[in-house]
Amino acid sequence: MFLLQPVHVSIVIGARDSVLYIESGVLYLFITANAGLFCFMAIKMQ
């Protein structure tokens, strides 16, 4: 069951920082690595 309201979850594990953000049925995942790598992923929920 998906949440009806936007939810913002911040998770910091070791030297890695990842942010999970859900808004308007779209799941955004931000991952920042220690080496400066940046990953972005958007998943449209149906």
**Would you say residue 30 lies in a domain?**
yes
pTM of the predicted model, to two decimals?
A: 0.33
**Would you say residue 34 lies in a domain?**
yes
**Would you say residue 40 lies in a domain?**
yes
Residues 1-46: pLDDT tens digits? 455 555 555 444 444 566 666 666 666 666 665 555 555 555 565 5
Give the range of the structural domain holding residue 23, as residue numbers without chain letter. 7-44
Q: Write out 12-42 in H/E/C secondary structure.
A: EECCEEEEEEEECCEEEEEEECCCCCEEEEE
**Would you say residue 12 lies in a domain?**
yes
Euclidean distance between CA atoms 27 and 21, whole angstroms:
6
Question: Cβ(38)–Cβ(31) under 8 Å?
Answer: yes
Number of domains in the chain: 1
Euclidean distance between CA atoms 4 and 37, whole angstroms:
32
